């Protein structure tokens, strides 16, 4: 272990056990770190060149929290910990003071990992050995930050879920090639806050940007060796630190100020910031992984270990380890992190990656696990948007529809059903109707509402929208795994030709299919989520697993934007925003709407192409791929902020997923005497149609009609 001469310009006082982490108060910095197994904890300070300048033994321990205060330590100071304690992997202990460790509560991290033997607790090829090489020179360092920031009059937009349109985006992928963003800030938090991006989001009607992981993450050594990188960022090593890779600031800790400025600017534009967070595992991997932070601080507290052989880790994520949510200090780490991002960084919500893992206190998934109880009781975290990815890779991990009432969920069944419907799969019509109307079959039994369903057709993981209609098979050769990685069952359809083509008929069909997906998504009940670049026709060349491609494969190519698709997406989003009938706060019930003591029309009605209301036999027809749905603008059971009943125009939506045109008959006149076309995915002309008249819906086409008011 590198020994440093004690720097006599510093002295260490006893300090406080709370808060954990490094806390600057204007006169110095308090350091506090939890370890139940430690016998001694050293705090090491480093200069800008990575040289260790001082090393102090933390003088006090309270409730297994080691702490000390050093006067005159200011923001920008780099530091790390060395933990003396048992090294006994068979019993779960992996302390080694030769390994410099990142503070689990680091507010900023500076530098990168130099992947070599020193970062590992064992000798390569001898996993039962112990390696005592000093790792300090190969480790990034934790950084003391300046907690002060001028937020001005910043206020959270607080958009209701029903009025929300979420835009999933990658900080770098969204901004790296935008021609209107200065080159020196492309790919950074500052770029996300640039007027060019904000204007684009506003024109789309976006109310919240959901950023893929920005918690500081590690680039896996296996990817680095291949000349690739962990582009997506699902490999967290700092739950409090915005990743410096997305910062344009040259100063250590500058990423914190830049992130806050981004949030403030987005809020000024009425756009919320939701973070995709990875609390289910860390970058330290399995028993063969490196010792970077929590493994060397208190391995048994922070990770779920195999009960009868604690050398090994429980892995519900496919990444090597799972955070131990049954331990109070591990739970505290997660809750403290969530509160920090809300109170100090002003974010508006979180999307929890592989959220089922957080319910695994022991083995089975328990939706009433301690973590969810803590969230529900927390006065800060419970009030922001909470979105679960409701699955993991462990047994019983697919939990769509089973999360607690205040949670919303990525609705994987919505994605699968809508994809199947538009590619013409049989026996999908009845389930398509459930997904279009908010998935009551999944959420109503838990007293939730349509907004519990975060609807999506495309997310970062899988094909882009353009590729969904252009490829039958994945093409992941660039990932270096012989095309064996990524999902093989994509529910995609290439419209007749695999990949790029000049065939005008194929291109026209693909364009129509893209518009079908976007129309369905934005006009479904629930909360729509658009994946960045899908409105522009972004392609990854058939790569459906771009996690390691930090290059043109995954970046949005603004120079080749499909302007026609963009304008269409804006039009559908504007229709949704203008009409509350598409963003109801309660499920349909299909019953007549009482109006002034009289029986009115139902809030929703389904029609066959012949213009008759659907029967059970019609729904059970496995070959049916076409349906019309009436949405009653007078049947919205919602009230506005003043308590006034919400009313709207009525609409009829025609969906024809058949490969041939279908002649529909308009509903009878009691549903509306005259209708006008407001959207159609086939590019046809606007037309006005009377009740009971025929209307031909082209093959694989959506048409939306709006009721013409009687006085018009």
pLDDT along the chain (712 residues), means of 10: 49 97 97 98 97 97 98 97 98 98 98 97 94 98 97 97 98 98 98 98 98 97 93 97 97 97 98 96 97 98 96 91 92 97 98 81 59 91 94 73 88 96 92 97 91 97 98 97 96 98 98 98 98 98 98 98 98 98 95 62 95 91 89 90 89 97 96 96 94 96 94 54
Q: ∠ at Cα 352 (350, 355), nearest 5°?
A: 150
Sequential DSSP letters for 164-182: --EEEE-HHHHHTT-TTS-
Which tokens hold the place of 518? 């976007």
- Beta carbons of 84 and 95 less than 8 angstroms apart: yes
Domain residue ranges in the chain: 604-707
pLDDT 10s digits, 523-538: 999 999 999 999 999 9
Q: Give me the catalytic one of 258, 353, 649, 698.
A: 353
Q: Strand ranges (DSSP E) for 25-123?
A: 28-34, 40-46, 52-57, 60-62, 65-71, 78-84, 87-88, 93-94, 109-110
**110 is a catalytic site residue:** no
pLDDT at 4: 39
Cα–chain center distance at 693: 45
Summary count for the chain: helices (H), strands (E): 15, 31
With residues binned 3-state (H G I as helix, E B as strand, rest as coil), the percentages for the chain, rounded to 5, are: 25, 20, 50
Name the helix (H) or strand (E) containing 359. Answer: none
Query: What is the distance in angstroms between the CA of the first residue and the CA of the last residue of the chain?
Result: 84
Cis amide prior to 19 (ω within 30 degrees) = yes
Could you give the CA distance from residue 348 to residue 242 in angstroms, rounded to a whole number?
Answer: 15
CB 512 within 8 A of CB 681: yes
DSSP class of residue 13 equals: B
E strand or H helix that includes residue 264: helix 254-268
Say what the pLDDT of residue 399 is: 80
Beta carbons within 8 Å of 486's beta carbon, 6+ residues apart: 462, 474, 476, 479, 543, 544, 545
Task: Point out the catalytic residue in the list 110, 389, 550, 698.
Answer: 389
601/469 Cα distance (integer angstroms): 38
How many residues does the structure list for the chain? 712
Burial annotation 25-61 (CB, 10 A radius, 16+ → b, else e): eeebbbbbbbbebbeebbbbbbeeeeebbbbbebebe
Beta-strand relationship, 592-595 and 598-602: antiparallel
* Tokens found for residue 711: 């006085």
Tokens of 575: 């229709």
Q: What percentage of the chain exceeds 90 in pLDDT?
A: 86
Please tell me the distance from the alpha carbon of residue 357 to that of residue 365, in angstroms, as a whole number. Answer: 7
pLDDT score, position 404? 84
Active site annotation includes 640: no
A 10 A CB-CB count for 228 gives 19
CA nearest to 156, candidates 249, 270, 315: 270
CATH class (in words) of the domain with range 604-707: mainly beta
Instruction: Say what the pLDDT of residue 675 is.
Output: 97
* pLDDT tens digits for range 639-661: 877 888 899 999 999 999 999 99
Full DSSP string of 360-412: -SSSS--TT-HHHHHHHH-TTGGGSEEEE----SSTT---TT-S-TT-EEE-H
- Tell how strand 527-531 and strand 453-455 pair up: parallel
Sheet holding 651-656, edge to edge: 604-607, 626-631, 651-656, 701-707, 674-680, 688-690
Q: Which position has the token pair 């975290």? A: 381
The pair of three-digit structure tokens given for residue 233, joined into one six-digit string: 């960022």
Task: Return the bridge partners of 70, or none.
Answer: 29
């Amino acid at each position: 272990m590198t020994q440093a001469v004690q720097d006599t310009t510093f002295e260490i006082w006893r300090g406080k056990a709370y808060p954990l982490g490094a806390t600057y108060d204007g006169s110095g910095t308090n350091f506090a770190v939890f370890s139940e197994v430690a016998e001694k904890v050293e705090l090491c300070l480093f200069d800008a060149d990575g040289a260790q300048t001082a090393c102090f033994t933390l003088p006090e321990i309270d409730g297994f929290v080691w702490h000390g205060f050093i006067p005159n330590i200011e923001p920008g100071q780099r530091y790390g910990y060395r933990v003396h304690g048992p090294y006994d992997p068979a019993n779960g202990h992996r302390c080694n003071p030769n390994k410099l460790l990142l503070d689990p509560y680091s507010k900023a991290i500076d530098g990168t990992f130099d992947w070599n033997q020193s970062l590992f607790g064992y000798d390569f090829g001898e996993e039962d050995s112990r390696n005592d090489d000093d790792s300090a020179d190969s480790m990034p360092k934790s950084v003391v930050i300046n907690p002060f920031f001028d937020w001005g009059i910043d206020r959270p937009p607080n958009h209701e879920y029903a009025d929300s349109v979420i835009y999933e985006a990658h900080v770098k992928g969204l901004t790296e090639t935008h021609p209107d963003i200065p080159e020196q800030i492309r790919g950074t938090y500052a770029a996300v806050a640039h007027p060019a991006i904000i204007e684009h989001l506003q024109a789309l009607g976006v109310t919240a940007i959901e950023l893929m992981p920005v918690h500081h993450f590690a680039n896996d050594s296996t990817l680095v060796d291949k000349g690739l990188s962990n582009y997506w960022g699902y490999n967290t090593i700092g739950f409090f630190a915005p990743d410096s890779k997305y910062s344009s600031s040259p100063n250590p800790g500058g990423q914190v100020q830049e992130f806050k400025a981004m949030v403030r600017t987005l809020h000024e534009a009425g756009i919320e910031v939701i973070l995709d967070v990875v609390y289910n595992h860390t970058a330290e991997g399995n028993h063969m992984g490196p010792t970077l932070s929590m493994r060397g601080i208190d391995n048994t507290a922070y990770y779920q270990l195999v009960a009868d052989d604690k050398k090994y880790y429980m892995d519900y994520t496919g990444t090597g380890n799972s955070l131990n949510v049954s331990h109070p200090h591990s739970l505290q780490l997660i809750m403290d992190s969530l509160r920090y991002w809300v109170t100090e960084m002003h974010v508006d919500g979180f999307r929890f990656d592989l959220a089922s893992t957080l319910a695994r206190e022991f083995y089975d998934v328990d939706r009433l696990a301690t973590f969810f109880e803590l969230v529900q009781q927390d006065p800060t975290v419970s009030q922001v948007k909470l979105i679960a990815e409701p699955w993991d890779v462990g047994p019983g991990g697919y939990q769509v529809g089973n999360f607690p009432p205040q949670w919303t969920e990525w609705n994987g069944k919505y994605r699968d059903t809508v994809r199947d419907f538009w590619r013409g799969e049989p026996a999908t019509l009845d389930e398509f109707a459930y997904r279009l109307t908010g998935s009551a079959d999944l959420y109503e039994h838990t007293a939730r509402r349509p907004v519990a369903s975060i609807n999506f057709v495309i997310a970062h993981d899988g094909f882009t929208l353009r590729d969904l209609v252009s490829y039958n098979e994945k093409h992941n050769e660039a990932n270096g795994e012989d095309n064996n990685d990524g999902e093989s069952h994509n529910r995609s359809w290439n419209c007749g030709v695999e990949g790029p083509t000049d065939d005008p008929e194929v291109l026209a069909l693909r364009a129509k299919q893209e518009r079908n997906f976007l129309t369905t998504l934005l006009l479904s009940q629930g909360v729509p989520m658009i994946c960045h670049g899908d409105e522009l026709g972004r392609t990854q060349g058939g790569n459906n697993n771009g996690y390691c491609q930090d290059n043109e494969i995954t970046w949005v190519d603004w120079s080749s934007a499909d302007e026609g698709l963009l304008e269409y997406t804006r039009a559908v989003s504007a229709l949704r925003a203008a009409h509350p009938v598409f963003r109801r706060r309660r499920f349909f019930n299909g019953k007549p709407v009482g109006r002034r003591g009289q029986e009115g029309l139902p809030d929703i009605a389904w029609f066959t192409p012949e213009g008759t209301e659907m029967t059970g036999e019609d729904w059970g027809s496995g070959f049916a791929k076409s349906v019309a749905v009436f949405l009653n603008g007078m049947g919205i059971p919602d009230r506005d902020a003043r308590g006034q009943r919400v009313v709207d125009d009525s609409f009829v939506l025609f969906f024809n997923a058949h490969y041939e045109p279908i002649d529909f008959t308009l509903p009878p006149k009691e549903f509306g005497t005259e209708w006008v076309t407001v959207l159609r995915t086939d590019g046809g002309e606007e037309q006005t149609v009377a009740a009971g008249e025929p209307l031909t819906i082209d093959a694989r086409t959506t048409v939306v009609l709006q009721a013409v008011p009687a006085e018009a």
